[in-house]
Amino acid sequence: MKIRRYMAKNTQEAILKVKMDLGSEALILNTKKVKKKGFLGLFSKPMIEVLAAVDEYDEQKRERDMSKAPERQSYNNSEDKTNFVEKEEKIANLENKITNIEEMLQKLYSQVKTDDNTANDQNKEGNDRQSSRTAEIFFNNLIKNEVDADIARKLIDAASARTGGKAGVNDMAAQLSGIISGLLGRPDTIKTGTEGKPTVVIFVGPTGVGKTTTLAKIAANYLLNQKKTIGLITADTYRIAAVEQLKTYAEILGIPVCVAYTPAEIKEAVSLHSDKDLVLIDTAGRSHKNKAQFEELKALISASEADEIYLVLSATTSIRNCSEILKSYSFLKDYKLIFTKTDEAPVLGIILNVRYMTGKSLSYITTGQSVPDDIETANIEKITKNLIGSYTR
C-alpha cells in the first residue's frame, strides 16, 4: 500500500490532489486543519492536511487502463494537468500575498514595539523627573526646618526607595513621615521605683537652657497629677539665684529641698530623701569649653548614683553648637533627652538631628515658662509634621 500526505487550502483542493496523484481508487485515511508554525501563523488561515493511501494492485490496474485508452487518457490527463497548473498558480499567488502580508505585519509589529519602548522610556523619564522634583521639594523643606543636610538626604533617599521611583507628593509625604516617626522613636519618661527606694534623677546640660524650671515642672507634675512624694536637691551653687529659685518652687509645692556643694554632700542629700518616691537633682550649667567643670560634674553624677540622667538642651541651639555640646557630654553612657524652649524655636530640626546623632531616647519638651503647665511628653506626630512642613510648587 502506498501512503502520502497532501496540503491544500481546502478539502476539495486536497482531494483533487489525491485523485490526480493516486487515482479515484485512493482511500482517504485522515483529514485535519493545521496552522503554520511561528508568530506569523497567527495571522494566516489554517491549511487542510489529507493523509491518503492506494493499494498497489489498484495502482497497477489504473496504469493498465490508461495504456488501453491512450487517446482518452491523454485528453483527460491533459485537461487535469491544465486545471492543476492553474490551481497551482493561484496557490502560488496566494502564498506570495500571504508572504507579503506577513512581512508587512512583521514591520508593523516592529514599529509598534519600537513606539511602545520609546513611549515607555519617555514616561519613565517623565516619572523620574517628577519623582526627583517631589523629592527635592521635601529635601528643601527639611533643610528649611534646620535638619542636617546629610541626615535630610538619607531620609529622602530612603523614602524614594520605598516608593519604587514613583513618588507623588502624597506617597512621599506618607513614606517620609513613617521614616521620621520611626527615627524619633517612642518617648521614654521618668519611671518611679517600686522597690521601696526612690528613683534618683539628675539633670545636666549647658548654661541657659532652663534646667531648674524644667525640674520644677516635672516635680509639680509627679506631685500633683501622679501623687508621688518628691525630694529636691540642687548642686547649682555657682548661681545664688538658681538656689533661691528652686527653694521658691519647693516652698510653693510643699516639698523639701537640699543644697549640696560637694559630691559627698550629694550622696548625703540622697540618703535624706530615702523615704521619697522620686528625687530630682539640679546641676549647674556647664560650658562645653570648660573641661574643669566637666570633671566636677562627673564626680557629682557618680556620687548621686542616679537611676536616670537627662541631658537638657534648648531647641534654639544651632547645629554647630549642638555638635560641640554633645561631644562634651559624650562621657555620659546612658541618658535621655529633654528639649526646652520649643515655643521660641520656629523649627524643630535640632530634635531630629540630636536624636539621630546620639541614638538616645526623647522624653519631654517644654513649651513656655509657666510651672507646671508648659511641659509635655514629646509628641512624635506633631514634631514629624513640623519637620516635613507644607510643600510648595
Check which CATH number belongs to the domain holding 248 and give it. Answer: 3.40.50.300
Residues 258 and 325 in one domain: yes
**pTM, entire model:** 0.65
Distance between CA 128 and CA 122 in Å, rounded?
A: 10
Dihedral angle of Cα 239, 243, 245, 249, to the nearest 10 degrees = 160
**317-333 as b/e, with b when 16 or more CB fall inside 10 Å?**
bebeebeebbebbeebe
Distance between CA 363 and CA 184 in Å, rounded?
A: 11
Overall average pLDDT of the 94-122 stretch:
68
Residues 149 and 39 in one domain: no
Answer whether residue 85 is part of any domain. Answer: yes
Amino acid 80: pLDDT: 62
CA–CA distances in Å: residue 197 to residues 95, 168, 283, 336:
101, 55, 22, 21
Ramachandran bin of 386, using left for φ above 0, alpha for ψ from -120 to 50, beta for the remaining angles: alpha
Residues 323 and 276 in one domain: yes
Q: Which residues pair with 57 in a beta bridge?
A: none
Distance between CA 190 and CA 310 in Å, rounded?
A: 10
Distance between CA 32 and CA 10 in Å, rounded?
A: 10
Distance between CA 91 and CA 135 in Å, rounded?
A: 64
Q: Amino acid identity of 306?
A: A
Count of structural domains within the chain: 3
Answer whether residue 264 is part of any domain. Answer: yes
Distance between CA 217 and CA 368 in Å, rounded?
A: 11
Is the Cβ–Cβ distance between 68 and 41 less than 8 Å? no
C-alpha cell belonging to residue 326:
554633645
Residues 359 and 210 in one domain: yes
307-335 pLDDT, tens digit each:
999 999 999 998 888 899 999 898 998 99
Distance between CA 114 and CA 51 in Å, rounded?
A: 44
- Reported as type and span, the H/E element at residue 276 is none
257-259 vs 278-282, strand pairing mode: unpaired
C-alpha cell belonging to residue 330:
559624650
211 is in which domain, residue-wise? 199-377
Amino acid 118: pLDDT: 61
Q: Which residue has the higher pLDDT, 222 or 64?
A: 222
Alpha helices in 45-198 (DSSP H): 56-68, 70-144, 149-162, 169-184
Is the Cβ–Cβ distance between 26 and 53 less than 8 Å? yes
Amino acid 240: pLDDT: 64
C-alpha cell belonging to residue 245:
529659685
Distance between CA 148 and CA 161 in Å, rounded?
A: 20
Closest CA to 155 of 353, 292, 336: 353
CB atoms closer than 10 angstroms to residue 377:
13
Question: Cα 280 to the chain's mean position, in Å?
Answer: 42
pLDDT band at residue 59 using 50, 70 and 90 as cut-offs: low
Amino acid 199: pLDDT: 94
Answer whether residue 20 is part of any domain. Answer: yes
257-259 vs 308-314, strand pairing mode: unpaired
In eight-state DSSP terms, residue 197 is S
Residues 329 and 247 in one domain: yes
Residues 322 and 266 in one domain: yes
| DSSP one-letter string for 241-284 | HHHHHHHHHHHHHT--EEE-SSHHHHHHHHHHTTTSSEEEEE--
pLDDT of 234 strictly over 80 = yes
Answer whether residue 145 is part of any domain. Answer: yes
Residues 213 and 343 in one domain: yes
Closest CA to 300 of 269, 331, 327, 264: 264
Cis omega before residue 372 (within 30°)? yes
193-217 pLDDT, tens digit each:
667 789 999 999 998 898 999 999 9
pLDDT of 284 strictly over 50 = yes
Answer whether residue 239 is part of any domain. Answer: yes
Answer whether residue 193 is part of any domain. Answer: no
Amino acid 128: pLDDT: 52
pLDDT of 69 strictly over 60 = no
Residues 161 and 309 in one domain: no
Residues 237 and 365 in one domain: yes
Answer whether residue 114 is part of any domain. Answer: no
Distance between CA 109 and CA 40 in Å, rounded?
A: 10
Question: At which of 37, 68, 102 does a domain end?
Answer: 102
Residues 149 and 242 in one domain: no
Amino acid 27: pLDDT: 80
Residues 245 and 371 in one domain: yes
Residues 161 and 293 in one domain: no
Answer whether residue 113 is part of any domain. Answer: no
CA–CA distances in Å: residue 75 to residues 72, 81, 102, 180:
5, 10, 40, 97
